[in-house]
Structure 1
Amino acid sequence: MAPDVAYEPVSVKDVLSEMKDTAELLIDLSYSAVLSGSDEVAEEVLALEERMDVLQLQARMSLLMAARSPEDAEQLAPVLGVVGAAEKIADAAGDIAKIVLEEIGLPDAMRAAIPEATEALVRATVADDADYVGRTLGAINMETERGVRAIAIRRASETGKRAWITNPDKDTELRAGDALLLRGLDEGLAAVFETATGEPYRRPQATEPSSADLERAVDSIVTMKDMSELAVDLAYGSVLFDSEAVAEEVAELEAEVDALKSRLEAWTLRAAGRVDDPVELRGLVHLAAAAETISDAALEISEGVLRGLGAHPVVAAAVEESDEVIVRLTVADDAEIADRTLGDLELATETGMRVIAIRRPGEAQSWVVSPDAATRLTAGDVLVAKGTRAGAERLSALAGDRREFDA
């Protein structure tokens, strides 16, 4: 049964900030549940979706109380759009999780969509006698020693209610019973998981696609996932920097996801004639619909900027509360990072920034989404990176571009 929600004075900025962090976490968790086939992670998605329902009601009530004139309504309309978009993202993430929990049908080839060098996400419940109990994340130092990040923690309170820590930091102390959401590579994940739970870590086995059409469909799902995630990041960036240029890139990504969805539906239908049980492919169609919903929601977040209404200060302040910032930088001709690969540069280590996408220049501009270590940077490339503000300044200097976003 859904919890009762009554009006109470809350900080709209704080609620919007939590909604942003929760929406981004939900996208990550829901796709990870599918790619790893994890019922446990899928269940966490549904729990977080319930939390988002409460947050969006609190935000809507507070905004309605704040609107006292036509001018207020005009200013607050884009804020309601941001609230509604975050709720849509949560609903789409819940639909993705149900593919796993309700066994809607998904080809085993989805497991092959996880390259060996790609980070995975798992849930680990801290055992009563675990070495981590009573220690802070800073003292454990799992990120430096194991390459594993705790991206969120679900904690049961004394009243039995579940509370989420969506941005745990070095001062966060772990307790017995904490559900850790861990991201990292297999070797490090195995060590941290076993230390936390006292149980062995098992990675799902991959299965190769049974036909070329199915392989293309699976590849399209992964691309749509990456693009929809990127669209959400850019949408919040467009609001933070009140940048119409970045908002326009969100619109372009949304159009590309729509096109991918159409192609995926065709490949899935063709693949249905070459598999033993076509019902297993239903999940692909559900995934495509959810990715499209997420990219549509990203466009709604940036709609106020696109339509010239600007970004309400409370939204920009909420986005700024996030531990991570998003920057858009152009690689200069004489930049230190020009004509070098991301693997050679080790930007994540050197600057703390992750390059999440690259837009190539030229007549037919194209996106490189989730670039890997072999991706070479060239002059004129537009980098979209995520990380700390200090890291953004260092990356900006390396790229020879002091601008964060074009206005």
Structure 2
Amino acid sequence: MAPFEDGDESQSVEYEPVGVKQLLISMKDASELIVDLAYSALLHNSDPLAEEVLELESRMDVLQMQARMNTLMAARTTDGARQLAPVLGIIGAAEKISEAAGDIAQVVLGEEELPGSIRAALPEATEVLARATLSSDSPYNGRTLGDINLETETGVRVIALRHDRTEWELTPGYDTTLDEGDVLLLRGSEHGLDSVYETVTGERYERNEPVDHDITDLTRAVDTIVLMKNVSELSVDLAYASVLLDDTALAEEVHALEVEVDGLQSRLEAWVLRAASEVTDPVRLRGLFHLANSTELISDAALEITEGILRDIDTHPVIAESVKESEIGVRRVAVETGSPLAGETVTTVRETNPGVSVIAIHRVDDEWVFYPDSDDAVNEGDMLIARGTWNATEQLVATAGS
């Protein structure tokens, strides 16, 4: 890949024979990371994190151009072009996700102010992302991730790492060594992050306290934003899972979720307009519109990822391979008769399978439960959609059927 200078939006990109599969892996990982970074910047009102989002967005511009050029070079026949068409769709979708995340970052960096209640509400998502700088006296200093075995021990994983202001390492491996001053992006339940964050930084993890207000329509708007965020992120996970599993049913669920997000956006706009008459400065509510629009674009992009499956185009092997070789994946887990998971709660499943998050349950009566509550039960015949590292999710698949 051509050298990339941070912030250089006018950089020329020339064709280089980089494998399409590797480029797709990088784009998938980067697009997922950039969404995490964007919402983390929003939660913490962090300009540095927002600036990292914009740098990653620029990196994605280069990746998508390289991927498009290499994909077009690979399509030498009519059949090849037909199979590779969905690859171009996924490339474009990943780019749109990064652009939407960049728009969220611009809300943080811009003059538009969001109600404080939204920062208190957003952590209701299944997992939380925290940015932590490794202190010199941390017991992790000088050790590898494999030696620490963080995810297995705590359920918290390092999804990205940055050494000395270099580019983010998007998928740090077991042999990655942690050094003083490294910036870690930690992802996991808020409960699990408490101890890990303190071990990394030597400081307590500060949670966002709820901010109450008595404007009914604004409360509804904030709740809707949170729901849109959760549904759109779930759409991306299900979209990549449908590609890997060549699962039309999952792709159709992504379509249904996209329609739901469209409806939520319409309701949000109505509630914000009503709330405008109850606040001193209605202009400060513009950020909600921008955030809702960016979130809706993410769900639209997720639908584009599934286009090849919905149109019954044979999935090119490079797509499934790139999704599977990504560090984080989504697996379908069948809870068979007699499975030790049957009758357990979602919390128990997570605690006994560190590194795994149940993001959806498909019940035997065809009901879907998205982002199930901690005390929701797992029943025989259920189909779980689990997100996590491939090793962790593979272990969960084995457990579910044993």
Question: Shorter-chain-normalised TM-score: which range?
Answer: 0.7 to 0.9
Number of equivalences: 394
Q: CA deviation at 1:192?
A: 4.8
Residues 92-107 of structure 1: pairs in structure 2 closer than 5 A: 92-107=100-115
The 5 Å alignment of 1:177-326 reads: 177-184=181-188, 189=193, 192-193=196-197, 196-197=200-201, 202-326=206-330
Give the structure 1 partner of residue 5 of structure 2.
none
| Distance in 2 between residues matched to 1:348 and 1:188, nearest whole Å | 10
- Counterpart Cα distance in 1 of 2:374 and 2:20: 40
Q: Distance in 2 between matches of 1:329 and 1:131?
A: 36
Distance 1:177 1:57, change over 3 A: farther
Alpha-carbon offset, residue 166 of structure 1: 1.3
Tell me which residue corresponds to 1:31.
39
Output one character per residue of 1:107-158: Cα deviation in whole Å (capped at 9) or x when no partner.
Answer: 11112204589653232334567654432123344446665432101234xx
Partner of 1:357: 360
Aligned residue for 2:55?
47
Distance 1:393 1:125 in 2: 31
Is the Cα contact below 8 Å between 1:35 and 1:113 reproduced in 2?
no
1:354-398 superposed Cα distances (whole Å, 9 cap, x missing partner):
211124465xx6543322322223455432112345544554455
Could you tell me which residue of structure 2 aligns to residue 374 of structure 1?
Answer: 375
Task: Go from structure 1 to structure 2 and tell me whether the alpha carbon gap of 1:354 and 1:184 turns closer, same or farther (over 3 Å shift).
Answer: closer
- 1:65 equivalenced with 2:68 (yes/no): no
What residue identity is the alignment partner of 1:387?
G
1:121 equivalent to 2:129? Answer yes
- Among 167, 173, 178, the residue aligned to 2:171: 167
Q: Which runs of 4+ in 1 moved over 6 A?
A: none
CA distance in 2, matches of 1:80, 1:40: 32
Determine if the alignment matches structure 1 residue 109 to structure 2 residue 113. no
CA distance in 1, matches of 2:358, 2:350: 8
Q: How far apart, in 1, do the equivalents of 2:124 and 2:67 lie?
A: 41
Instruction: Name the CA distance, whole Å, in 2 between partners of 1:342 and 1:204.
Output: 24
Larger displacement relative to structure 2 (373-382 or 290-299): 373-382
- Distance in 2, matches of 1:206 and 1:38, equals 18
Amino acid at match of 1:242: D
Gap regions ≥5 residues in structure 1:
403-407
Contact 1:142 1:149 in 2 (8 A): yes
What is the distance in 1 between the residues matched to 2:32 and 2:398?
28
User: Offset of 1:214 from its aligned partner?
Assistant: 1.5
Which deviates the most, 22-31 or 63-72?
Answer: 63-72
Q: Helix, strand or coil: the match of 1:273?
A: helix
CA gap of 1:337–1:166, structure 2 versus 1, over 3 A, is same
Q: Percent identity?
A: 56
CA drift of 1:105 comes to 2.1
CA distance in 1, matches of 2:342, 2:329: 23
Q: Is the 8 A contact 1:149 1:184 kept in 2?
A: yes
Distance 1:119 1:74, change over 3 A: closer
Please identify, of 316-325 and 30-39, the stretch whose mean Cα deviation from structure 2 is larger. Answer: 30-39
CA distance in 2, matches of 1:54, 1:165: 16
AA paired with 2:360?
Answer: A
Instruction: Give the TM-score normalised by structure 2.
Output: 0.87
1:272/1:139 Cα in 2 relative to 1: closer, same or farther (>3 Å)? same
After superposition, the Cα gap between the structure-2 partners of 1:333 and 1:147, relative to the gap in structure 1 and judged at 3 Å, is closer
1:60 partner amino acid: R
* TM superposition score normalised by structure 1: 0.86
3-state SS of 2:278 partner: coil
Q: What is the deviation of 1:65?
A: 1.8
SS of 1:386's partner is: strand
1:197 offset after TM fit, Å? 5.0
Instruction: Provide Cα deviations, 1:38-84, integer angstroms capped at 9, x if missing partner.
Output: 22222221121111111111101111222333333222211111100
- Identify which range, 117-126 or 50-59, moves more after superposition: 117-126
CA drift at 1:194:
5.5
Q: Is residue 151 from structure 1 mapped to residue 159 from structure 2 by the alignment?
A: yes
CA-CA distance at 1:22 after TM superposition: 0.8
Shift in Å, 1:263: 1.1
Aligned equivalent of 1:405: none
Q: Post-superposition shift, 1:325?
A: 3.0
Question: 1:223 is aligned with what amino acid?
Answer: L
Name the residue aligned to 2:4. Answer: none
Distance 1:260 1:366, change over 3 A: farther
Change (3 A) 1:372 1:269: same
Letter in 1 for 2:386: A
Which residue identity is paired with 1:234?
Answer: L
Structure 1 residues 103 and 138, CA, compared in 2 at 3 Å: closer, same or farther? farther
Q: Could you tell me how far 1:252 is from its partner in structure 2? A: 0.9
Aligned equivalents of 2:359 and 2:72: distance in 1? 36
Matches within 5 A, 1:333-348: 335-343=339-347, 345-348=348-351
